[in-house]
């Protein structure tokens, strides 16, 4: 009796429906449970697995039947669509989880909308190829098994079973994405307006900034550099110091830490990727996609047709320096158009831009020369030596800003200078970047202009390559920050231990080259040489992070502005 009942088609249909309902429950509960998600994840997977195995066994034991041919076609098409959707989501999840698990939905949305000219996606080729192969194999197996089921007159059961399996898979992967991308937190905050920025923002254009001396500035952004890699004995989290030269530079100069342990700057929302980080350190506010209109989101950056600056309301470092007679220059080894970096720096200090295209135009590299994101850091430092020599020969003070790229995730770029000391490629690239920076700094110190020059080295943001972070055994509890070192600042700059963010580098940079700032605050930043508390010291990391995830009417209307024709 029981055996007959188990083979009844209505019972099988009921189990399919039950699995579908469980899939819907998965999405609802993954939203509700949040912190208990991981434990729930395993319970759900075990439950679904038992039901599917049991359902498969029963399916093979049922008598042949095929009473609904039209329904077969519908479920066949739905199953095929689910295969593509679920497999695509699964591939995307593994890339997000293993390659850069720290990214959230807000950052992902910005990257999807931003100008991606010059983006290097070569590191994802392997994942894409493996994903396409997996998808092809699954599709071939799907239609092959369907033909087999059709011969046995069991295609109805087969298409229904496949539909159920892939629907369950879709629900599982959707729940994983929800948790990983912090969709719940994003949705909770995106609809809220916070007065935090308005209450704490200081407009540099309305503050008295005077220069006791006008020191030259060399500002070097090191892609994805963090004190995490300085070794446990130096306050890092790796077993061995991978960046010994950078460790020594921070210890011998200023990083606003205490003792020999390296300190760094927290990178908060809007400043956890390169363009946002550069905006944060030069204007005291980040760049978040939620604050911008569709012209910018659709990559409209043409200078002649639009007022294209996506932070037109801020008065930034470059503008302060230009106003005080400085010559500004930005040098990068990739295309400056990526994320509108050329637009931002041109409109905020009239920077002269030297990028990959410039190197090609000047004949420094052939037109078909392309390494990693453009040209490697070794060439960037080589060209920078020539450019800074020219800048120093002029009568006006200068600000030379560099952005490296070899240490970009995933795995970094192995140039001809890199060794093979470490098993992990990324470790060798980081070690090489440390040595190259140290060599460049030593060259600067030997130049006549160094006496009157302040050098700031800043990691733009912590690396997004969380596969590497996991391989290195770095705990989730470790607080990762951006590397900071201030070298040869103005004589009255006194270092003290601070807790700070990359926003604080804006007024700190000006103070380091001889500026006196009324109130010692600019943007959301505080002069770290002053006795004023930083916002993160005042509010704490969690509170400040939460507030910056929410929208700001003041930011949207006064700082981000709207594009105009």
Residues 168-189 as b or e (16 or more Cβ within 10 Å = b): bbbbbbbbbbbbbbbbebbeeb
Its pTM stands at: 0.74
**3-class DSSP assignment, residue 456:** strand
CA-wise closest residue to 89 among 216, 180, 203: 180
Predicted confidence at residue 35, as pLDDT, reads: 44
Secondary structure element (H or E) that encloses residue 211, with its range: strand 209-211
Q: What is the spatial distance between Cα 517 and Cα 33, in angstroms, rounded to a whole number?
A: 48
Cβ count near 50 (within 10 Å): 10
Set out the domains of the chain in order of their start, with CATH numbers: 2-190 (no CATH), 211-504+513-560 (3.40.720.10)
CB 95 within 8 A of CB 125: no
Q: What is the largest CA-CA distance in the chain?
A: 99
**3-class DSSP assignment, residue 474:** coil
Q: How far is CA 371 from CA 44, 425, 426, 466, in A?
A: 45, 16, 16, 23
pLDDT score of 12 more than 50: yes
| Residues 439-484: tens digit of each pLDDT | 999 999 999 999 999 999 999 999 888 778 888 989 888 999 999 9
Q: What is the spatial distance between Cα 271 and Cα 276, in angstroms, rounded to a whole number?
A: 4
Q: How far is CA 254 from CA 247, 517, 527, in A?
A: 11, 20, 14
Q: What is the spatial distance between Cα 109 and Cα 288, in angstroms, rounded to a whole number?
A: 9
Secondary structure element (H or E) that encloses residue 221, with its range: strand 216-222
CB 102 within 8 A of CB 466: yes
pLDDT score of 335 more than 90: no
CB 52 within 8 A of CB 166: no
Q: How far is CA 41 from the centre of its chain?
A: 26
Per DSSP, 449 falls in state G
pLDDT score of 321 more than 80: yes
Predicted confidence at residue 196, as pLDDT, reads: 95
Secondary structure element (H or E) that encloses residue 24, with its range: helix 9-33
CB 260 within 8 A of CB 278: no
Higher pLDDT, 415 or 305: 415
Q: Taking residues 185-210, report their average pLDDT.
A: 85
Secondary structure element (H or E) that encloses residue 352, with its range: strand 352-354
CB 23 within 8 A of CB 170: yes
Predicted confidence at residue 19, as pLDDT, reads: 58
| Residues 501-523: tens digit of each pLDDT | 999 999 999 999 999 999 999 99
CB 460 within 8 A of CB 274: yes
């Amino acid at each position: 009796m029981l055996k007959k009942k188990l083979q009844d088609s209505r019972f099988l249909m009921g189990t399919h429906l039950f699995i579908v309902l469980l899939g819907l429950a998965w999405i609802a509960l993954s939203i509700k449970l949040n912190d208990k998600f991981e434990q729930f994840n395993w319970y759900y997977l075990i439950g679904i697995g038992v039901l599917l195995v049991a359902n498969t066994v029963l399916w093979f034991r049922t008598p042949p039947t095929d009473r609904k041919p039209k329904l077969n076609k519908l479920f066949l098409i739905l199953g095929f669509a689910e295969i593509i959707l679920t497999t695509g989501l699964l591939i995307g999840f593994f890339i997000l989880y293993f390659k850069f698990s720290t990214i959230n939905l807000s950052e992902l949305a910005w990257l999807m909308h931003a100008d991606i000219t010059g983006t290097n996606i070569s590191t994802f080729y392997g994942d894409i190829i493996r994903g396409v192969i997996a998808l092809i194999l699954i599709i071939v197996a799907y239609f092959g098994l369907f033909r087999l089921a059709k011969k046995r007159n069991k295609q109805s059961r087969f298409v229904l079973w496949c539909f159920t399996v892939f629907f369950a898979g879709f629900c599982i992967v959707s729940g994983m994405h929800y948790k990983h991308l912090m969709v719940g937190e994003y949705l909770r905050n995106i609809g809220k307006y916070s007065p935090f920025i308005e209450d704490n923002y200081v407009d540099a254009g309305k503050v008295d900034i005077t220069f006791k001396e006008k020191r030259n500035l060399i500002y070097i952004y090191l892609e994805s550099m963090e004190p995490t890699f300085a070794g446990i004995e130096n306050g890092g989290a790796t077993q061995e110091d991978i960046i010994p030269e950078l460790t020594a530079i921070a210890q011998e100069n200023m990083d606003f830490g205490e003792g020999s342990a390296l300190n760094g700057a927290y990178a908060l929302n809007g400043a956890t990727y390169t363009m946002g980080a550069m905006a944060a350190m030069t204007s005291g506010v980040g760049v978040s996609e939620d604050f911008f209109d569709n012209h910018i989101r659709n990559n409209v950056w043409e200078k002649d047709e639009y007022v294209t600056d996506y932070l037109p309301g801020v008065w930034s470092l470059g503008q302060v320096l230009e106003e005080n007679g400085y010559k500004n220059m930005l040098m990068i080894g990739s295309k400056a158009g990526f994320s509108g970096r050329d637009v931002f720096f041109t409109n905020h200090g009239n920077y002269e831009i030297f990028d990959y295209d410039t190197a090609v135009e000047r004949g420094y590299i052939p037109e078909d020369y392309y390494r990693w994101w453009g040209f490697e850091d070794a060439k960037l430092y080589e060209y920078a030596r020539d450019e800074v020599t020219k800048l120093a020969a002029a009568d006006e003070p200068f600000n030379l800003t560099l952005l490296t790229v070899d240490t970009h995730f995933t795995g970094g770029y192995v140039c001809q200078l890199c060794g093979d000391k470490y098993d992990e490629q990324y470790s060798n690239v980081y070690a090489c970047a440390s040595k190259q920076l140290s060599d460049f700094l030593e060259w600067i110190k030997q130049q006549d202009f160094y006496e009157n020059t302040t050098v700031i080295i800043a990691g733009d943001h912590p690396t997004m390559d969380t596969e590497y972070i996991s391989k290195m055994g770095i705990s989730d509890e470790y607080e990762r920050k951006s590397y900071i070192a201030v070298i040869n600042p103005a004589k009255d700059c006194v270092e003290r231990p601070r807790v700070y963010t990359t926003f604080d580098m804006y007024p700190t940079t000006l103070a380091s080259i001889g500026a006196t700032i009324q109130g010692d605050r600019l943007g959301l930043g505080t002069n770290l040489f002053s006795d004023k508390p930083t916002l993160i010291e005042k509010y704490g990391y969690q509170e400040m992070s939460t507030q910056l995830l929410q929208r700001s009417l003041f930011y949207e209307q006064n700082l981000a502005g709207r594009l105009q024709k």
